[in-house]
């Protein structure tokens, strides 16, 4: 069963479009899927089906400035004027809506790339309302962030917030092509070294990645990274929330593994329950490599199922523990 849902955005301008995918079986829980920069939630249909096969209801929306939400509101590449937490608060509104539709079920969140940034912002405020979270392709200390932020602040001070400066993308993301020996033709080679994935991404009519992003929205992107960076952010995350962080070790967004471990270390040092896995030889979209996606989705599903089992039994028996045998 599929529900299409809408709700007013936190930006007080747009109507957000989302979908709730329901398996034809008794659900074991809910997974809210949070997509990344410039894309849309239906790029995850393979993953959504895998989650449903495991008994999960899946909820996902298209962020403001993205996908169907952008089409219906005529807001390609602009996220509105309410600031850095807009997408995070929209995800909270979606969660409230889905919980009203399907109450009393465990609730998990999966976020990829910018979706992982949104999820990190989310768990610092609403983490006690989740049962587990998976961060995919997340970033540590982001290269060029200070330079990009200063450049954008100058543009906005000049009254160019709603314009799109072509130099911004290069300042913030140009370094991501450093390990792309095939060169740059489509401009998205850093996501995956499979040319079919690259072409699918580049030619997707609901994909805003190749459409201009407004200067003010790029600044919100930078500010979002700022608020989820460092021990101060990790200290706000509930220590009893199970967290898994996964990425390819050739993913530039995760600084080729270094940034992924940096985030995990912030969380670990704050006392959080976090585990980390890197997939050797793979770039950013580990869930879209044909030879890898089943393994990635199985790892995520196993993590959520294990986390829900732990939470369920921990309430009844504090001494309960999982023993995994080969």
pLDDT single digits (tens) 199-244: 999 999 888 666 789 999 999 999 999 999 999 999 999 999 999 9
pLDDT at position 207: 83
For position 309, what pLDDT does the model report?
82
Residue 309: strand, helix, or coil: helix
Residue 315 scores a pLDDT above 50: no
pLDDT number for residue 86: 98
Walk across the sheet containing 132-136 and list its strands.
2-8, 15-21, 56-62, 29-34, 107-112, 132-136, 242-248, 273-279
Helix (H) or strand (E) holding 6: strand 2-8
Beta carbons of 159 and 190 less than 8 angstroms apart: no
Please tell me the predicted confidence (pLDDT) of residue 322.
Answer: 34
CB of 109 closer than 8 Å to CB of 96:
no
Q: How does 53-65 read in b/e, with b if 16+ C-beta sit within 10 Å?
A: ebebbbbbbbbbb
- DSSP state at residue 255: G
| Joined tokens for residue 200 | 């699918």
| Predicted confidence (pLDDT) at residue 87 exceeds the cutoff of 80 | yes
**Residues 124/267, Cβ–Cβ less than 8 Å:** no
What pLDDT was estimated at residue 210?
A: 62
Instruction: Give pLDDT, residue 209.
Output: 62
Domains in the chain, ordered, with CATH? 2-314 (3.40.50.1820)
Q: Average pLDDT over the chain, rounded to whole?
A: 93
pLDDT band at 256 (very low <50, low <70, confident <90, very high): very high
Residue with tokens 């995990």: 264
Whether residue 318 has pLDDT greater than 80: no
pLDDT at site 323 = 37
Give the pLDDT score at 324. Answer: 37
- Summarised one tens digit per residue, pLDDT across range 89-148 is 999 999 999 999 999 999 999 999 999 999 999 999 999 999 999 999 999 999 999 999
pLDDT score, position 259? 97
The share of the chain scoring above pLDDT 70, in percent, equals 94
Residue 7: which pLDDT band, with cuts at 50, 70 and 90? very high
Q: Residue 245 — φ and ψ, nearest 5°?
A: -120, 125
pLDDT of residue 28: 95
287's CB contacts (< 8 A; 6+ apart) are: 44, 46, 47, 112, 136, 293, 296, 297
Asked whether residue 9 carries a pLDDT value surpassing 50, the answer given is: yes
pLDDT value at 35 more than 80: yes
């Amino acid at each position: 069963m599929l529900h299409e849902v809408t709700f007013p955005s936190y930006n007080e301008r747009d109507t957000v479009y989302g979908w709730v995918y329901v398996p034809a079986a008794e659900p074991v829980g809910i997974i809210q899927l949070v997509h990344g920069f410039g894309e849309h939630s239906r790029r995850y249909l393979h993953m959504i089906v895998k989650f449903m096969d495991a008994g999960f209801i899946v909820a996902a929306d298209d962020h403001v400035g993205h996908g169907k939400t952008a089409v219906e509101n005529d807001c390609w590449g602009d996220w509105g004027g309410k600031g850095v937490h807009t997408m995070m608060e929209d995800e909270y509104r979606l969660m409230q809506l889905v919980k009203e539709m399907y109450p009393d079920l465990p609730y998990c969140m999966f976020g990829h790339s910018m979706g992982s940034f949104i999820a990190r912002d989310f768990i610092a405020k609403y983490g006690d309302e989740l049962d587990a979270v998976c961060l995919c392709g997340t970033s540590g200390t982001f290269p060029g962030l200070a330079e990009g932020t200063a450049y954008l602040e100058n543009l906005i001070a000049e009254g160019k917030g709603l314009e799109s400066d072509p130099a911004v993308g290069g300042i913030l993301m140009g370094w991501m092509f450093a390990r792309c020996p095939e060169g740059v033709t489509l401009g998205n080679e850093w996501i995956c070294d499979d040319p079919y994935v690259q072409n699918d991404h580049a030619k997707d009519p609901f994909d805003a990645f190749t459409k201009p992003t407004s200067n003010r929205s790029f600044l919100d992107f930078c500010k979002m990274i700022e608020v989820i960076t460092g021990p101060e952010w990790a200290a706000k995350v509930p220590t009893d929330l199970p967290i898994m962080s996964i990425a390819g070790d050739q993913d530039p967004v995760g600084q080729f593994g270094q940034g992924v471990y940096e985030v995990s270390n912030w969380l670990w040092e704050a006392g959080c329950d976090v585990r980390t896995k890197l997939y050797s030889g793979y770039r950013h979209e580990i869930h879209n490599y044909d030879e890898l996606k089943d393994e990635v989705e199985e790892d995520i599903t196993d993590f959520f199922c294990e986390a829900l089992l732990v939470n369920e039994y921990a309430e009844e028996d504090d001494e309960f523990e999982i023993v995994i045998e080969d």
